[in-house]
Amino acid sequence: MAYASREIVASSAEVFAVLIDPATYPSWLVGASEMRDIDDDWPSVGSRFHHRVGIRPLTIADSSEVLAIEPDRLLRLAVRARPLLSAVVTFTLLGQDGRCVVAFEEEPGPRAIGNLVRPLFDPITHVRNHLSLKRLDTFVARRAEGRPPAQAP
């Protein structure tokens, strides 16, 4: 499992609002390139958002599904970029006094294939997720200031 965490100067509610807004993902999640659609019942368990991942022109269309949600505390998603990747991503937030720690865990799946590729992909995923959390921090700060999000590199 790849694990990353970061303390963000914002409430858990402010950060969670970004995590449950798939339209924000291309601005802070490394590899997310565009949102194609969001289910009407988002973010209820079983609902999905449909996305593209990668760098144009090499992108893959797929979806992510809510597996579990606890407002302002936890969001667990089954993420896919078939035929190559599937994983379970868990964002956990713990905060008080206008600060929170965001933990970002990513477990490859299915289990058998995930165990084979883990030694190769975990270090890469770890770096990607740390960079994503840094960008999430910047995104949340800019939103709090009322400034538009910076363009993703």
pLDDT at position 125: 83
Q: What is the CATH number of the domain that holds 102?
A: 3.30.530.20
Taking 70 as the threshold, does the pLDDT of residue 122 lie above it?
yes
Which domain range does residue 72 map to? 2-144
Contacts of 62 (CB under 8 A, 6+ apart): 50, 51, 53, 80, 81, 82
pLDDT of residue 62: 85
Q: Record the pTM.
A: 0.88
Mean pLDDT of 36-50: 96
In a domain, 30, yes or no: yes
Q: Amino acid identity, residue 123?
A: P
67 within a domain of the structure (yes/no): yes
Res. 87 pLDDT band, cuts 50 70 90: confident
pLDDT the model gives residue 120 = 66
Mean pLDDT of 83-92: 85
Task: Give the pLDDT of residue 16.
Answer: 98
Please give the pLDDT value at position 151.
Answer: 59
Instruction: For residue range 95-114, list pLDDT tens digits in order.
Output: 988 999 999 999 887 654 55
Give the model's pLDDT for residue 112: 46
Indicate whether 129 belongs to any domain: yes
- Say if residues 88 and 78 touch (Cβ distance below 8 Å): yes
Total domain count, the chain: 1
Domain-located, residue 152 = no
Tokens 């084979």 appear where? Answer: 116
The verdict on residue 48 lying in a domain is: yes
Q: Identify whether 151 is part of a domain.
A: no
| Residue 18 belongs to some domain of the structure | yes
